[in-house]
């Protein structure tokens, strides 16, 4: 039987979790407070057991942007960077060009935007990585989490082609690497 001390972290976790999902008060532009859409007002006795897909689900997916550096543990270890010239390479030490904004465009599909270069990472039909000023379907990648907690980025436009870095930090062609290769495994870092 667990001791009372061993149960206290679980109790604390439960309290924090419950407070996180508690109904929130939202202030309107007129200064009035209203309940969150996910709660049932006292006078409204409708059934909430089914989850309905709403337009806010789409907004939720499109609204989350993460700023990360993608680290590949190949060779001496590299962060992928997007240079202002449009060249995609790996760099050992973090710099301003290695900071990326990862934005979802649909479930499991993301774009990778260089924060300082303002260029998207894109892959053409031959598997070559390049920086693109304008968003297109070549800028979308399927983000898959592997068992080793690394991510792989597969081209959504050209399935079977992956983002990868070589042992010297040079970008590999997407058609010459596979998901099983370490050079395609990236760890998002803050």
Number of domains in the chain: 1
Q: How far is CA 165 from CA 50, 93, 133, 152, in A?
A: 45, 15, 22, 12
Answer for the pair 185, 146: CB distance below 8 angstroms, yes or no.
yes
pLDDT in tens, 55-70: 444 444 456 899 999 9
In a domain, 82, yes or no: yes
pLDDT in tens, 8-19: 555 555 554 444
| Cβ within 8 Å of residue 166, ≥6 positions away | 74, 75, 90, 172, 183
In a domain, 170, yes or no: yes
Residues 179-185 have a mean pLDDT of: 95
Q: Report how far residue 55's alpha carbon sits from residue 60's, in angstroms, rounded to the nearest whole number.
A: 9
Domain with 65, as residue range(s), is 60-189
pLDDT in tens, 93-138: 999 999 999 999 999 999 999 999 999 999 999 999 999 999 999 9
In a domain, 27, yes or no: no
Give the CATH number, domain containing residue 165.
2.80.10.50
Residue 132 φ/ψ, nearest 5 degrees: -115, 135
User: What is the value of pTM for the model shown?
Assistant: 0.67
Q: Report how far residue 30's alpha carbon sits from residue 151's, in angstroms, rounded to the nearest whole number.
A: 45
């Amino acid at each position: 039987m667990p001791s009372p001390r061993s149960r206290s972290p679980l109790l604390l976790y439960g309290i924090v979790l419950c407070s996180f999902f508690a109904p929130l008060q939202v202030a309107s532009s007129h200064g009035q407070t209203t309940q969150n859409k996910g709660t049932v007002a006292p006078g409204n006795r409708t059934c909430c057991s089914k989850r309905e897909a709403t337009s806010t689900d789409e907004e939720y997916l499109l609204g989350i942007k993460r700023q990360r550096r993608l680290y590949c543990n190949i060779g001496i270890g590299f962060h992928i960077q997007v240079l202002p010239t449009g060249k995609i390479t790996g760099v050992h030490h973090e710099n301003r060009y290695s900071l990326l904004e990862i934005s979802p465009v649909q479930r499991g599909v993301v774009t990778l935007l260089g924060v300082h270069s303002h260029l998207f990472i894109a892959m053409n039909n031959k598997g070559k990585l390049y920086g693109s000023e304008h968003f297109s379907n070549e800028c979308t990648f399927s983000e898959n989490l592997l068992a080793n907690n690394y991510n792989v980025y597969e081209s959504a436009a050209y399935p079977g082609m992956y983002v990868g870095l070589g042992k010297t930090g040079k970008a590999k062609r997407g058609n010459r690497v596979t998901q099983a290769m370490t050079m395609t495994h990236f760890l998002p870092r803050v």
